[in-house]
Structure 1
Amino acid sequence: MRQQEGGGAAGGGGAPTTAPVGGEVVIRFLDVGQGDAILVQSPEGKTLLIDGGRSAERMREHLKALDVSRLDLMVATHADADHIAGLVPAAALKPRVFINNGLGGSTQTWERLVAALQEAGATFTKASNQTVNLGSVKLRVVAPPPGLGDDQNENSVGIALQFGEFRALMTGDSETPATEGWLAQERDDLQGPFQVYKSIHHGAANGDSAAWLANVRPENVVISVGTPNSYGHPTRKVLDLYRQAGARVYRTDRQGTVTFRGRADGTYSAETER
């Protein structure tokens, strides 16, 4: 395991917060191959799972290894299989609330997820730029901008996380029309700097842009990606953008699960599985 310390008071971006007294928020970008799965734990032990990858068995293994016995909140950024298949077994942990983009999927995987969440008694909620508290961690649910039609990727839900001065941004498989729409809204909650940022759409060419990264100002970028993959992710174009932005890059295909432990003063540590 490799560790790195970094950060400092972020300043700017987002609403002012009262810094919690102590503890850490833990964000794990789980190694699920070509897909996304992010587990967040607050200092109080509250849990959030954002997406679940495409393998139910792989998600079961992660939850067992990390001794996760309950979920307080589950978010599906969108309904593609590489983001929701692993959420089906995770629903057995009975999340109280399930947030998605309001666009139901058309696959059997989506139907299994809905059935599992209904059995668990979860409340279904559409993303609407609401703020949710996960213990002392503030979560801003970033709804896709209007006018994008019914494409699942473009309608991905984002989560902007804040714990004191520590901030992280996860935006699913959003594409350029979505980021342009968010930039036009001039949203404070999406203005950097962010200590941690998940690469949009696994590093696809139609995801991140120079204008978007100039707004987000990421210190660290995590690319959740599998090797090999038939999509060419991450693309050289996007890797060059991250380099030009001065961001440190982590990749789950090369380093396994990537874990950040953020403190209220904006400092953090980063660990990789390999």
Structure 2
Amino acid sequence: MRRLLAVLTLSAGLAGAQAAPPGVLTIRFLDVGQGDAVLITSPEGKSVLYDGGRSEARVRELLTQYQVRSLDLVAASHGDADHITGLVPAVQQFRPKFFLNNGLAPSTQIWKKLVAAASVAGTQGLLAKAQVINLGSVKLTVIPPPPGMKDQNTSSIGLLVQYGSFRALMTGDSETPETGAWLKTLPASLLGPTDVYKSIHHGAKNGDSARWLAAVRPKNVVIGVGPNTYGHPTAEALSLYKKAGAAIYRTDLNGTVTVTVQKGGQFAITTEHGTGVRSAATAPRPAPVPVPAAPATVSYANCAAVRAAGKAPLLRGQPGYAPKLDRDGDGVACE
């Protein structure tokens, strides 16, 4: 990254591009369940979808909900299904010019389906390298995997989003070998501080580390997560974010998390369920959003007993809601 960066400019003024408020960058951490999907729209209406979650139907629904009418680039941080499945309908519908990827093709059916869709759409593969992508007036710096990484997670592609003084960083499911290599090779000024940071690997134990977060210096952390059997986000990860002084947002509790950024870098964070905290680049760091703990006495086995006792089902975002009780991921526990 110390060498001269290649620059790719996505041409402005595409017909039918998504409208955006004048001078405003919008970043939406989409609520796609257990997975990641981030929709980035420049003030000029240029759009990028970084990852697409695990559900084609859910991504179609969200792209319609947020009135996306074109995509200039889709990017897969890496090739796991919970990051690329939703890219298939995005490519089929919008025929983006480029598909940014790590060049490490998994032998999975969903990857083959995505590659086939890109071929039909005329979407050009773009191998991640040290480069800047100009998304209108927004600067996207691609952070490629370090040399020698061999699996999908540690070959995740990082993306730094800059608009004015605002900075957002996301690095897929990168793990300690990859972040450790980045710490040795990337300039400290590239990594932090960050105003908004996407947690690594949905808050997994082998994702973020104290050393990495000390370099990233996040003010706000967004965790893309849904009902899962992995224990995401882990207590270890949540503790790290708390120690870093970051406000915490979770798509399982807060729904889609939307960041709107003004030209000067001032920004606001809102959530689908209205529990967001407004923030600005020059304002004091907001207090972390409380993360309710799962009730120790409630489990699948006694959901019927909970209802029989006259207690109402718990909705996503309410104190006491536990994702493991939400059998179908519809935001209602014990139903």
TM-score (norm 2): 0.74
Structure 1 counterpart SS, 2:239: helix
Q: For the Cα contact (< 8 Å) 2:188–2:215, is it kept in 1?
A: no
Matched, 1:110 2:139: no
Q: CA deviation at 1:105?
A: 1.7
- The corresponding residue for 1:23 is 23
- The corresponding residue for 1:203 is 203
Q: CA deviation at 1:69?
A: 1.4
Structure 2 counterpart SS, 1:181: helix
Q: For the Cα contact (< 8 Å) 1:195–1:220, is it kept in 2?
A: yes
For the residues of structure 2 that align with 1:125 and 1:56, how far apart are their CA atoms? Answer: 22
Choose between structure 1 and 2 for higher RCO, CA contacts under 8 A separated by at least 6 residues. Answer: 1
For the residues of structure 2 that align with 1:139 and 1:191, how far apart are their CA atoms? Answer: 13
- The corresponding residue for 1:86 is 86
Superposed, 1:67-78 pairs within 5 Å as 67-78=67-78
- The corresponding residue for 1:129 is 130
- The corresponding residue for 1:147 is 148
- The corresponding residue for 1:219 is 219
Q: For the Cα contact (< 8 Å) 2:203–2:223, is it kept in 1?
A: yes
Q: For the Cα contact (< 8 Å) 1:166–1:195, is it kept in 2?
A: yes
For the residues of structure 1 that align with 2:191 and 2:56, how far apart are their CA atoms? Answer: 35
Superposed, 1:6-17 pairs within 5 Å as none
Letter in 1 for 2:156: S
Q: CA deviation at 1:66?
A: 1.0
Letter in 2 for 1:272: T
For the residues of structure 1 that align with 2:148 and 2:108, how far apart are their CA atoms? Answer: 24
- The corresponding residue for 2:324 is none
Letter in 1 for 2:137: S
- The corresponding residue for 2:19 is none
- The corresponding residue for 1:7 is none
Q: For the Cα contact (< 8 Å) 2:146–2:178, is it kept in 1?
A: yes
For the residues of structure 1 that align with 2:231 and 2:255, how far apart are their CA atoms? Answer: 19
Structure 1 counterpart SS, 2:104: coil
For the residues of structure 1 that align with 2:203 and 2:140, how far apart are their CA atoms? Answer: 24
Identity of matched residues, %: 59
- The corresponding residue for 2:248 is 249
Runs of 5+ in structure 2 lacking a partner? 6-21, 274-335
For the residues of structure 2 that align with 1:23 and 1:103, how far apart are their CA atoms? Answer: 37
- The corresponding residue for 1:268 is 267
Q: Deviation string for 1:193-243 (max 9, x for gaps)?
A: 11000000000011101110010010000000002x111000111101100
For the residues of structure 2 that align with 1:102 and 1:207, how far apart are their CA atoms? Answer: 22
For the residues of structure 1 that align with 2:35 and 2:191, how far apart are their CA atoms? Answer: 26
Q: For the Cα contact (< 8 Å) 2:221–2:246, is it kept in 1?
A: yes
For the residues of structure 2 that align with 1:208 and 1:35, how far apart are their CA atoms? Answer: 16
Q: CA deviation at 1:189?
A: 5.4
Superposed, 1:26-65 pairs within 5 Å as 26-65=26-65
- The corresponding residue for 1:12 is none
For the residues of structure 2 that align with 1:167 and 1:217, how far apart are their CA atoms? Answer: 11
Q: CA deviation at 1:182?
A: 0.4
Structure 2 counterpart SS, 1:60: helix
Letter in 1 for 2:183: L
Q: CA deviation at 1:188?
A: 4.4
Letter in 1 for 2:230: Y
More strand by share: 1
Q: CA deviation at 1:265?
A: 2.1
TM-score (norm 1): 0.90
For the residues of structure 1 that align with 2:49 and 2:235, how far apart are their CA atoms? Answer: 29
Runs of 5+ in structure 1 lacking a partner? 1-14, 16-21
Q: CA deviation at 1:262?
A: 1.3
Q: For the Cα contact (< 8 Å) 1:51–1:75, is it kept in 2?
A: yes
Q: Deviation string for 1:28-50 (max 9, x for gaps)?
A: 00000000000000000000000
